[in-house]
Amino acid sequence: MTTLHRELATATDLARRAGQAVLDFYGSTDSVAKAGGSPVTEADYAANRIIVEGLTSAFAGDGILSEESADSPDRLERSRVWIVDPLDGTKEFLAQNGEFSVMIGLAIQGRPVLGVVYLPALDVMYGAIAGEGAWVERSGTREVLRRDGLKGSAPRLVGSRSHPDPLIEEIVAALGISDVVPCGSVGVKCSRIAEDQRDLYVHPVPYLKEWDTCAPEVIAREAGATVTDCRGEPLRYNKVEPVQPHGILVRAPGCDGEVEQTVRRVYESALRSV
């Protein structure tokens, strides 16, 4: 069986180099609005150049899907596709609160198999390969990540800082959750679940993209969490339209089927009322 250790080493190196480039712009509030209104900065573009050029050089036969590069239908013909968000949490980057990340994922035949999430402001790296577990590296020391079960009767939710949604509030009420901490970046949110700081992340929106979820999904799943969309279905990658149309649901061990069923019920009820 072919291992992905070279791929992981390359992605880790590129994420760290891209993160250093991002920090060169940290403190600047200059940005422009993309179509749809989300901000983009020179930091996004600088990180993207490093990652895309590095992946192209190292794995010339692979496809690449990146938030800050023009999409190409050529990737649909590739079995291996790198899925990149060079700066996830641009609003948090501009707010200088540290909740942003560099995310590099690899999907093979539509399945996420490798993920790297780097938090430049903290110099913390997360990585995982499907079937080989997840880890976090701080100050050169690498530690295995493996989730325990819930600490209390209700899960601790990590919410969205930049994208609040009334449907999330409805789900929180239905689950009886009172412990909610907002956070930026899908990568940061999933890292908090992997590190046993939070138990649940739900984002029932139609605008998440594949680059938002690929790398953090692998890390959360390999740390012991369950990752699906809000209907309980697996997330798929390298689709013609690179969206996750039914959002994301990340559950730590102990967030049993009742949580999934409640999320699905509330979510599908909202869809029917549209």
Which residue from 141, 193, 194, 203 is spatially nearest to 168, judged by alpha carbons?
Answer: 203
Q: Tell me the residue type at 194.
A: A
Q: Give the strand pairing for 243-244 and 124-129.
A: unpaired
Into how many domains does the chain fold? 2
162 and 104, same structural domain? no
203 and 135, same structural domain? no
CATH of the domain at 161: 3.40.190.80
Q: Supply the pLDDT for residue 152.
A: 75
21 and 115, same structural domain? yes
134 and 29, same structural domain? yes
Q: Supply the pLDDT for residue 1.
A: 42
Of 87, 119, 145, the residue that ends a domain is 145
Q: Supply the pLDDT for residue 2.
A: 67
Of 145, 170, 194, the residue that ends a domain is 145
46 and 123, same structural domain? yes
* DSSP string of 91-152, one letter each residue: HHHHHTSS--EEEEEEEETTEEEEEEEEETTTTEEEEEETTTEEEEEETTEEEEE-----SS
167 and 134, same structural domain? no
Structural domain of 220: 157-273
> For residues 127-153, b (16+ Cβ closer than 10 Å) or e, as one string?
bbbbeeebbbbeeeeeeebebeebeee
Residues in the chain where the model's pLDDT stays below 50: 1
CB 250 within 8 A of CB 271: no
220 and 134, same structural domain? no
For residue 237, which phi and psi values (nearest 5 degrees)?
-135, 160
229 and 100, same structural domain? no
